[in-house]
Every structure is written in structure tokens, then in C-alpha cells.
Amino acid sequence: MKIIKSLAKCVREYKKESILTPIFITIEVLMECFMPLVTSQLINILNSKNDIVNILGFVEIDRRDPNQLLLAIGICGVLLTVMAFVSLFGGAMAAKFGAKAASGFGKNVRQDVYYKIQDFSFANIDKFSTSSLVTRLTTDVTNVQQTYGMLIRLAVRSPLMLVFAVVLSFTYHPTLPLLFLIIIPILVVGLSLIFKFSHPLFVKVFHKYDNLNERVQENVRGIRVVKSYVREEYEKKKFEKSSKEVCADFTKAESIIALNNPLMVLAMYICMTVISYVGAKLIITTQNQALEIGDLTALITYSMQILSSLMMFSFVFLMAVISSESASRIVEVLNEEPTLKNPSNPLYEIENGAIEFKNVSFRYSDKAEKNALQNINLKIESGETVGIIGGTGSSKSSLIQLISRLYDASEGEVLVGGHNVKEYDLESLRNQVSVVLQKNVLFSGTIKENLRWGNKEATDEEMKRACVLAQADEFISSFPDKYDTYIEQGGSNVSGGQKQRLCIARALLKNPKVIIFDDSTSAVDTKTDALIRKGLKEYIPQTTKIIIAQRIASVEDANKIVVMDNGMINQIGTHEELLKSNKIYQEVYYSQNKEQKAGDLNA
């Protein structure tokens, strides 16, 4: 019920269509159930041995009069035609509104899940994995959408037809329709067993779908690496293995579900055979007194309607089985609470770019065995340029991600502009703490459209100025379409260095109080790197600049340099101070300046 309540909120503006669909289905079913009444009357009139017969209980005619007999046939024919058109109208309208309701419901579910993901922190996304979220937005939503469409149509049609057909069949004979009441519980037991054995398989298969999507996503993202190392065959085998696992589980589940159809067909033909045999025997032995030919025809029609409605219901039931796991996975995302939330009375203004870490420790999840950062104490004045150096895995990126609240500190507090980052409105904080991440991402669209991610109101002059500072204007101007040049998905039509400079320009357009470069000049040459740093120093002196780098040259002119080691601050100082006293810094410096090291040794 919790799952149903959560998904019911997604109906919203499609409530009218969702209500009208079962109303028109009811009209269609009523007409279909009353048509056998008229047909049986017509057959009984034609086969009756009585001279005076009754039409539908309100008109008597003399069968010996051809005109009256034609009138009776005409009345029945007109009624059947009217009912057929009303049934057709009801079915067409139900299909129209049902399609609109189901498609709209699917759109809302997909939209709600997508919007929810936008509010997720990195910790939330790490919990689900990107491949799993993609599966939930695509395959799972499609399953739920299809099931909803069936629920408002077939799930209404089936029980209505079942009830009306059973009730009307008893008007022809008091005991013969009891066969339906015997066969229905048997079918219910059969469906329950099918559900019991197939549902666990569908639970497994959707998790394997996630793994399959992860294989595809990983391969496409790293296709250049795959081709560089000639690993296509290896990747094909990995994909084939995942695909076979999905296929095997689906085959097993579908094999169980396939038992539904023969079970229903068997029940249908047993009912029809028994009714035909017993009904024919009654007609012959009682000389049409207990049952007439038209009545038997109506009973056979009702048996078909009852069993077809059971087949439709079983089909909906099995679709519900398949989509129940999809629904559960969707609701899991919708009910997930973001680990990062705005405070009740947030601050919207950040006074300056001063940053302070007070006894900060951090771990990526509660299940993590150890902290990624341990006992960090660091103070950065507004406008300072701070370099961060450390080996791979020293948690440099983890440190700066706490400043813009991409993650929250597990212990201690991080202050920006004199206030704890948790006191700020998230959007305001991230607009004023701009981060150029290590993995630079550009989106499909023009250069202008990508730059305006930093400031959607940015003028052409502002964009050009930011690009000049980021040393991007020169190569942009060399393109035929200049700033209107189209960037392919992921920025595949620009080099790594060009991509980095565009991302730096995008961050500068925010005009932030703090700007963080997470090894974001690694793909540019040292000359361009120096020019970027010079431009930042001259044109945005009041902005706090934090530079994570592998190259000593990128941070040596910083006001202070933080040396990280194993999630802790090893030492803080200027280039000259660290070069004299810090072993880690010395090793990095001399490994990058071998000639200098040789000279020092000779001296």
C-alpha cells in the first residue's frame, strides 16, 4: 500500500482521464453483456413451438403472422446494432483516455524520479549507482506505465464482465452456471502459485539489469581506453556474460508465467464442453422446457466472457508481478531523503571567501572502515591563493568537496565567510563556491550554452572576458563559428586542455567568492597554466583561490601550500619553507626538477 500511495501522487493532472477510462469501460462491458440477452431472444423466437411469443418481456407477437415475425427480428436487429455502436464508442473513448492517462502517469513518474535525483547528494548517488538510476528511469518506469494503463482498463473490465456475466447466466438456469463458481477458485490458486515462484526471479533480474547497464555505461564512457588497449573482445565477453545472466533469469521467469495461458485455455474448454453437453441434454430430454437453444447459446457466450475476463485479469496480474519490483525500485528513489538539506532558516549572503576547517573528519559512508579525512584544521583568509599537494589517495579532492557541501563533514565543522556551510542555502553556497572538478564535463550544445551554465544571464562581453582569463578565447576564435561552435556530447570534439579551459571560464562566470581548481589544469602546458594563474591573480584578487595540483609549478607562488598525506595535513607553508623542511614536498619537487636536484647534490 505504501508503494501504491507513493505512485498515486504521480497521477495528478491526469485524474480526469483516469476516472473517465473505467466509466467508458463500464459502458462497453454492459453492452457486451446485454447483447447475448437479445441474441438468445431472437434464436428462441425463431425456434419456438408456441404461436404467441414474448420479445424481451414487453412485446407479444404471433409467429404465424410474417409481418409480426419480421417486426420481432427487426427490433432485435436494431437493439443489437445500437448496443454494438454504444459498445464501440465506450471502447474507443476508454482507449483514448486510458492511453492519455497511462502516458501522462509515466511522464510524471519519470519526471518525479529525475527531479528527485537532482536533489541527491553524492552520497545518495553512490548508494544507488548511476547505472541503477538509469535503469529505474527507463525500464522500470516503462513497466509501471504499462501496468497502470492495464489497471485502469483491463483491471476494471475483467471483474465487471465477470460479475455481470455470472449474474446474467443465472437468469437462464439455476444450477448450470455453478460450474463457473467451481472453476474460478482453482484458477486463483493456480495464479497464486505462478506469482509465488516467478516474483523472486523478477527481483533478481532487475538487479542484473543494473549490472548490464553498468557494463554498457562503463564501456561507452571509456571507449577510447578500450580501443587503445585493444580490449574489445574482453569487453564483449563481459557484456555477453551479463546479458546471458539476464536472459537466463528472464527465460526461467517467463517459463513459469507461460503456464498461465494453458491453464486458462484448459479451464475455458472444460467449461464450454460441460455446458454444451449438459445444456444439449437438457434441451433434448425436457423438450425445451428446462432450457431452450437460445438460452444455451447465451450460456456459452457468457462462459466465453467469464473465462476471457479471467484471462485478461490473469494477464494484468502477471504484468503487476513483473512491475511490482519496478514499482518498489522507483518508490525507493522517491522516498530517499537527500543526505544534504537546507536549514530551516538559511543564510543567502556569503560575506567573503574566508574558509576554516575546525577538527574536521570525514568518511564517505557509515559503513566505511576508516575516515577519508582525519582531524583537519586549516584557516584560509579571503582572497588568498592556497595550493594543495599530495599523493594519489591522500584525499585532496575529498577536502575541497566539503567546502561546497558536495558532502558533509562527519565530525567538526567547515566555515565559509565566518559561518558553518550547513547554515547556508545550498544554491547560494554553490553559486559562491565555484568548483572546477577534476573530471571536466561539457554538455551537448554551443560554447555559449555551456558557458552560461556559470551564469545564464552572461553577456557576450562577460563570456569573452572569462575566456580570456582562462586562456580559452584564442582557440575559440580559431573556430569558424567561434562562440557558437557546437560542442558534441561530453566535449568529444575538443581536446582535453581546451575542455579544461572552457570549464574554468564557466566557473569564472559565476563571479564567486571562492574558486576551487581540482587538478583542472593538468591537461594544459605549463606556459598556459602560468598565464591562467597570472590572470586570476590580477583580475580577481578578492576571490579565494584553491588549487589542487600534481605539478609544483602550479602552486609554488601560492600564499601557502597544504601538503596532504593519507587523509591528514602533513604540513602547511610557503614553497620555500616546505622545500627546506618537508620530505614529501621535496620528493615531489625534485622528481619534477631532476636537473635542480643534481645541481644541489653536486654543491
pLDDT above 80 (res 467): yes
CA proximity to 317, closest of 207, 204, 194, 206: 194
pLDDT, tens digit, 9 for 90 and up, residues 118-144: 888 877 887 887 778 888 888 889 989
What pLDDT score was predicted for residue 50?
A: 63
In this prediction, residues 189-217 reach a mean pLDDT of 76
What is the rounded CA–CA span in Å between residue 230 and residue 532?
37
Q: What is the largest CA-CA distance in the chain?
A: 135
pLDDT, tens digit, 9 for 90 and up, residues 531-572: 888 888 878 888 899 988 888 888 888 889 999 888 888 899
- 393's torsion region: left (phi>0), alpha (psi -120 to 50) or beta? left
What is the rounded CA–CA span in Å between residue 318 and residue 258?
10
What pLDDT score was predicted for residue 599?
A: 44
pLDDT above 80 (res 485): yes
Q: Are strands 514-518 and 544-548 parallel, antiparallel or unpaired?
A: parallel
Q: In angstroms, how far is CA 172 from the centroid of its own chain?
A: 52
Which grid coordinates are listed for 280? Answer: 444439449
In this prediction, residues 346-366 reach a mean pLDDT of 88
**Core vs surface per residue 336-375: b (16+ CB within 10 A) or e:** eeeebeeeeeebeebebbbbbbeebbbbeeeeeeebbbbe
Which grid coordinates are listed for 234? Answer: 574482453
pLDDT, tens digit, 9 for 90 and up, residues 58-76: 666 666 677 777 877 788 8
pLDDT, tens digit, 9 for 90 and up, residues 9-33: 899 999 999 999 999 999 999 998 8
What is the rounded CA–CA span in Å between residue 161 and residue 154?
10
